[in-house]
Amino acid sequence: MENLQKMWNDGNMTQFIMNLRDVMDVHVVVVIRY
């Protein structure tokens, strides 16, 4: 979470969005799995 906050502060939106998407993909997989 701190990494996302740091990237947001650095203004690195592309990296932030890609990481956010990776996190969401993991959540989606967990939801589907259970």
Quick: pLDDT tens for 6-32: 756 666 677 777 777 887 777 777 776
Alpha helices in 1-34 (DSSP H): 2-10, 13-33
| Count of domains forming the chain | 1
The residue range of the domain holding 15 is 2-33
Which residues neighbour 27 within 8 Å (Cβ) at sequence distance 6 or greater? none
Tokens of 18: 């890609």
Q: Residue 9's pLDDT is what?
A: 65
Whole-prediction pTM: 0.36
Q: Residue 10's pLDDT is what?
A: 67
Tokens of 24: 């969401």
Q: Give, in order, the Cα–Cα distances in Å from 28 to each of 7, 12, 20, 23.
A: 23, 24, 12, 9
Q: Residue 7's pLDDT is what?
A: 56
Q: Residue 21's pLDDT is what?
A: 80
